Amino acid sequence: MDDGAFAGFSEQARRRLPRLFADYIDGGAHGERTMARNRAAFGQWGIVPRGLRDVSSINLATQCFGRSWALPVFLAPLGFAGMFHAHGEQGAAYAAHKRGVGMGVSTFSIAPMEKVAATGADLMAQIYVFRDRALTRDMLERARACGMDGIILTIDTAITPVRERDMRNGFRHLSRPTATQMAGLLRHPSWLYGQVRGGAMPNVGNIAGYTGSRGVMAQARDVVAQIDAGLDWDDLAWLRATWGGTLVVKGIMHPDDAIRAAEIGADGLIISNHGGRQMDPAPATLDVLPAIAQAVGGRVDIMLDSGIRRGGDVVAALALGARAVSIGRPWAWGLAAGGARGVGLVLDTLAREISDVMALAGLPDIAAVRAAGRNALWRF
Ligand SMILES: Cc1cc2nc3c(=O)[nH]c(=O)nc-3n(C[C@H](O)[C@H](O)[C@H](O)COP(=O)(O)O)c2cc1C
Ligand SMILES: CCCCC(=O)C(=O)O
């Protein structure tokens, strides 16, 4: 796979992590064709160099979902991220805070959201709606109580499809580690030491109170099975009526769904195919972006994720109608490779490339990128 600007981070992450977790991060659904297509779609667009424009200062400041960030980049919600490094979700949130960007906290965060919120970062709680709505109500209450004024409802996980690498490794398919898994953990003593010292290992802390099971693997299996496949548009309306803050719907891939979510009162959309981890084969997110942007016509802000690996990818997405992008695996790799510092370096790497591309395209700020639109782009 082409990990773009993050190849060094992903290589190191694969060295540091037991295979169980490295494969969980890297893998996708079924034949992993969507994952490959996400990357290929960015390869279809060039950005045309322009000169003789004043680019002596490049400003990456961005507004999206009613928030202000220093970069048009958001850290996507990632389940079980605390298993990738002892700094865990708090480490990532700390890095996001330092760089002035936002972050989604997964329902399946190893650290309870209250601890992540204590970093002071601009966070949104990602919500998987459970069959037992009382659990969801409780999760919303907790988000509100720890000062989060935005939630992200993920709608592309009605079921979890086969992910062959996870099946092979027994991720989420077993409740107790096998001998092979144990041997894999023991072959990574510095990772293991960090986990034991950090105390994250025993629980998916954010939902530990909602499951009777012990241990990350058993809890992962049980809570993923709790996700309500019966979720429908009425539930979105219910959530809209229940939650007074910002409501973003993640996993939109069709213009009709984008329009419907906007009509129900969502404040924002994330165009996402879950990084190729859910539907396979799905179209690339970049390929569906123009039609969705046209359908919503500026009524709600659009963020895009799945396959962002270069600054040029970000600029292309913004020129085609996104207000910001989010990154998933890149920050997982950064965290695994170097904790909070690694996530910070991932953000710095991307910021540098975005700035390079904008300067050479004669686009000094994000408004200029959006205004230039397709005029800045070349379709190969
Ligand atoms: C390890 C991992 C865990 C994820 N867990 C969640 C999750 O708990 N909730 C969610 O909405 N999306 C989850 N996602 C999807 C991401 O939020 C995001 O949509 C995706 O990673 C973007 O693609 P990219 O990894 O190519 O950047 C996960 C992705 C990865 C790689
Ligand atoms: C529903 C699967 C659990 C977390 C997740 O969203 C992912 O691994 O992609």
Ligand nearest the Cα of residue 278 is 2
**CATH at residue 66:** 3.20.20.70
Residue 309 neighbours by CB distance under 10 Å: 23
Q: Structural domain of residue 214, as residue ranges?
A: 4-379
pLDDT tens for the 380 residues of the chain, in order? 899 999 999 999 999 999 999 999 999 999 999 999 999 999 999 999 999 999 999 999 999 999 999 999 999 999 999 999 999 999 999 999 999 999 999 999 999 999 999 999 999 999 999 999 999 999 999 999 999 999 999 999 999 999 999 999 988 776 677 898 889 989 999 999 998 887 656 689 998 888 878 788 788 888 888 899 999 999 999 999 999 999 999 999 999 999 999 999 999 999 999 999 999 999 999 999 999 999 999 999 999 999 999 999 999 999 999 999 999 999 999 999 999 999 999 999 999 999 999 999 999 999 999 999 999 999 99
Residue 332 alpha carbon, nearest atom of ligand 1: 1
* Rounded Cα gap, residues 191 and 211, in angstroms: 26
Give distance in angstroms: CA of 71 to centre of ligand 2: 26
Give distance in angstroms: CA of 313 to centre of ligand 1: 18
> What's residue 166's pLDDT?
95
Going by C-alpha positions, the residue among 340, 332, 350 that lies closest to residue 16 is 332
Q: State whether the beta carbon of 80 lies less than 6 angstroms from ligand 2.
A: no
Q: State whether the beta carbon of 28 lies less than 6 angstroms from ligand 1.
A: no
> What's residue 201's pLDDT?
62
Ligand nearest the Cα of residue 37 is 1
* Rounded Cα gap, residues 365 and 211, in angstroms: 47
CA angle 189, 193, 195 (to 5 degrees): 120
Residue 104 alpha carbon, nearest atom of ligand 1: 17
pTM: 0.98
> What's residue 164's pLDDT?
97
What are the tens digits of pLDDT across the range 186-242?
A: 999 999 999 888 765 668 999 888 887 878 878 888 888 889 999 999 999 999 999
Which residue numbers belong to the known binding site for glyoxylate? Answer: 24, 128, 163, 274, 277
The answer to whether 333 touches 12, Cβ cutoff 8 Å, is yes
Q: State whether the beta carbon of 285 lies less than 6 angstroms from ligand 1.
A: no
Residue nearest to atom 7 of ligand 2 (CA): 79
Strand partners, 152: 126, 248
Encoding tokens for residue 48?
A: 């045309």
Candidates 277, 304, 333, 350: which one to mutate for ligand 1, based on the most atoms within 8 Å of Cβ?
A: 277
Query: Taking phi first (over 0 means left), then psi (-120 to 50 degrees means alpha), and beta for anything else, what does residue 235 get?
Result: alpha
Q: Is 85 a catalytic residue?
A: no
Radius of gyration of the chain (CA): 20
> What's residue 41's pLDDT?
98
Domain tally, the chain: 1
Q: State whether the beta carbon of 4 lies less than 6 angstroms from ligand 1.
A: no
Q: State whether the beta carbon of 39 lies less than 6 angstroms from ligand 2.
A: no
* Rounded Cα gap, residues 293 and 272, in angstroms: 13
